[in-house]
């Protein structure tokens, strides 16, 4: 096994996860230098065939969350392959899986079994609804968006609930799994003790609902669907201009005053109805037309330039290509190319910038079982203690 650079260099991750939450977590770890071995069934990760869109014959969904990994195809129902999987788990610093709770036990790959052979292992399990009464409920992001209450908050006030445009809680749970793994590795560095890290989509969803969760937990208030409006701040929503809608987020009194100065209505903040955020929020139906009247004088992009220059947060509503273009404009270099020649794949840059140990992009998303031969040879070589 090669040794990579990066803050997680020398950390071997056995990745038994599929679809999104687990693969996203392991990709983040791979970017930071971990050696990630992606264990796939003979048919491969389901997302390999989730098309369109595709790049060549591989789905862009799969490509988006699997760079930096080595692939080995193992049929865990086969005694020989299951033995190789257990050996991988024995050598690993980290094991990540998102099987149905209890599903790894029949292969001898559950936490108790792996820990018996590898006491220092950090073992992360990702499920939909935990390992208690919800263990038998399949966990899909759309289900959790519905069950958590997110869909009740998304859409027009008088329309039906909507799902978010992405699998937001899969991504959130993947982030939480990566954070948990890093915390457990820090503890292991200090004590030599591994541990079980459990993450479930519903808990990630409830914490991710932040102010809405707090409204219920701390205030007994059940939030309701408000379209693009914010329950506690105004203006903090799209407002029409001469051409397209513009996001305007004047979230404090100073920003609101600067907004009004740019719009040519500097007297508005002195009106008691609009002087403070709580008053503006309570009187939003009176304030909105005053802002919209002025915004109608210019287009969204022109207002964006003027407002940002004045320190007022705002933004045009882009399509995805526009979002990438804006990131390029801001010098964020959002696309990195992984691999060389015909194997080169453009992917989205790791979101964390580290000044001393930056993220790296060593391997393109692997073909199914691309590294199977070398991994089988490595796993078949007796070793007492090997961390890759």
**pLDDT value at position 39?**
98
Q: Are strands 35-40 and 54-55 parallel, antiparallel or unpaired?
A: unpaired
Question: Residue 93 catalytic?
Answer: no
User: Per residue in 352-374, pLDDT tens?
Assistant: 999 999 999 999 999 999 999 99
Residue 140 DSSP SS3: coil
Q: What are the two backbone dihedrals, phi and then psi, of residue 47, each rounded to the nearest 5 degrees? A: -70, -10
User: Per residue in 141-194, pLDDT tens?
Assistant: 999 999 999 999 999 999 999 999 999 999 999 999 999 999 999 999 999 999
CATH number for region 236-329: 3.30.1540.10
- What is the Cα–Cα distance from 145 to 155, expressed in whole angstroms? 13
Tokens representing 369 are 């079982």
**Tally of CB atoms within 10 A around 211:** 10
- What is the Cα–Cα distance from 239 to 204, expressed in whole angstroms? 31
Omega prior to 53 cis, within 30 of 0: yes
Mean pLDDT of 53-75: 97
CA angle 93, 129, 137 (to 5 degrees): 115
Q: What are the two backbone dihedrals, phi and then psi, of residue 152, each rounded to the nearest 5 degrees? A: -70, -15
**pLDDT value at position 382?**
84
Percent of the chain with pLDDT over 90: 96
- Cβ atoms of 91 and 386 within 8 Å: the answer is yes
Under the banding of pLDDT at 50, 70 and 90, the label for residue 388 is very low
Residues 6+ apart with CB under 8 A from 33: 4, 5, 6, 7, 8, 9, 10, 11, 357, 360
User: Per residue in 268-291, pLDDT tens?
Assistant: 999 999 999 999 999 999 999 999
| The dihedral formed by the CA atoms of 153, 156, 158 and 161, expressed in degrees to the nearest 10 | -50
- What is the Cα–Cα distance from 304 to 387, expressed in whole angstroms? 52
- What is the Cα–Cα distance from 79 to 108, expressed in whole angstroms? 11
pLDDT above 50 (res 34): yes
pLDDT above 90 (res 377): yes
User: Per residue in 174-189, pLDDT tens?
Assistant: 999 999 999 999 999 9
pLDDT above 60 (res 1): no
- Cβ atoms of 65 and 93 within 8 Å: the answer is no
Name which of 47, 14, 15 is nearest 141 in CA terms: 47
- What is the Cα–Cα distance from 8 to 311, expressed in whole angstroms? 39
List % helix, strand, coil for the chain (3-state, nearest 5): 40, 15, 45
The domain segmentation of the chain, as residue ranges, is: 12-208+336-379, 236-329
Count of residues making up the chain: 388
Percent of the chain with pLDDT over 70: 98
Spot the catalytic one: 170, 270, 369, 386: 170
- What is the Cα–Cα distance from 100 to 19, expressed in whole angstroms? 13
pLDDT above 70 (res 386): no
Under the banding of pLDDT at 50, 70 and 90, the label for residue 385 is low
- What is the Cα–Cα distance from 230 to 236, expressed in whole angstroms? 6
Which residues on adjacent β-strands are paired with residue 97?
16, 125
**pLDDT value at position 320?**
96
Q: In what order do the strands lie in the sheet with 236-240?
A: 236-240, 245-249, 314-316
**Tally of CB atoms within 10 A around 163:** 15
Mean pLDDT of 303-326: 96
Residues 6+ apart with CB under 8 A from 125: 97, 98, 101, 111, 131, 196, 197, 198, 199
Name which of 140, 179, 172 is nearest 46 in CA terms: 140
pLDDT above 70 (res 387): no
User: Per residue in 228-255, pLDDT tens?
Assistant: 999 999 999 999 999 999 999 999 999 9
Under the banding of pLDDT at 50, 70 and 90, the label for residue 3 is low
DSSP 96: E
CATH number for region 12-208+336-379: 3.40.50.10540
């Amino acid at each position: 096994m090669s040794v990579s650079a990066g803050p997680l260099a020398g950390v071997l991750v056995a990745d038994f996860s599929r679809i999104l939450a687990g693969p996203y977590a392991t990709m983040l770890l791979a970017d930071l230098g971990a050696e990630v071995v992606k264990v796939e069934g003979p048919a491969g990760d389901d997302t390999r065939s989730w098309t369109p869109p595709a790049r060549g014959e591989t789905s862009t969904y799969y490509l988006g969350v699997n760079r930096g990994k080595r692939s080995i195809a193992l049929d865990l129902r086969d005694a020989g392959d299951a033995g190789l999987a257990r050996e991988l788990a024995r050598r690993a610093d980290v094991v990540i899986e998102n099987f149905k709770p209890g599903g790894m036990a029949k292969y001898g790959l559950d936490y108790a079994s792996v820990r018996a052979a590898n006491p220092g292992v950090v073992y992360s399990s990702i499920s939909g609804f935990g390992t208690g009464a919800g263990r038998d409920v399949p966990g899909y992001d759309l289900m959790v968006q519905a069950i958590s209450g997110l869909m009740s908050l998304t859409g027009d006030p008088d329309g039906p609930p909507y799902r978010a445009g992405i699998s937001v809680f899969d991504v959130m749970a993947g982030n939480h799994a990566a954070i948990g793994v890093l915390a457990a590795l820090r503890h292991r560095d200090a004590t030599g003790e591994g541990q079980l890290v459990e993450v479930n989509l519903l808990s990630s969803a409830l914490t991710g609902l932040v102010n809405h969760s707090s409204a219920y937990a701390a205030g007994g208030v059940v939030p309701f669907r408000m379209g693009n409006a914010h329950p506690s701040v105004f203006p903090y929503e799209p407002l029409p201009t001469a051409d397209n809608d513009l996001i305007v987020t004047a979230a404090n009194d100073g920003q609101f005053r600067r907004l009004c100065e740019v719009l040519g209505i500097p007297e508005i903040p002195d009106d008691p109805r609009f002087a403070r955020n709580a008053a503006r929020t309570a009187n939003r139906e009176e304030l909105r037309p005053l802002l919209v009247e002025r915004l109608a004088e210019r287009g969204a992009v022109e207002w964006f330039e003027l407002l940002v220059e004045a320190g007022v947060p705002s933004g045009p509503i882009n399509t995805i290509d526009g979002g990438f273009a804006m990131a390029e404009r801001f010098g964020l270099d959002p696309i990195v190319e992984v691999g060389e020649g015909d194997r080169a794949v453009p992917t989205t840059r790791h979101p964390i910038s580290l000044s001393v140990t930056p993220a790296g992009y060593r391997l393109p998303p692997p073909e199914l079982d691309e590294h199977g031969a070398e991994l089988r040879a490595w796993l078949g070589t007796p070793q007492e203690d090997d961390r890759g």
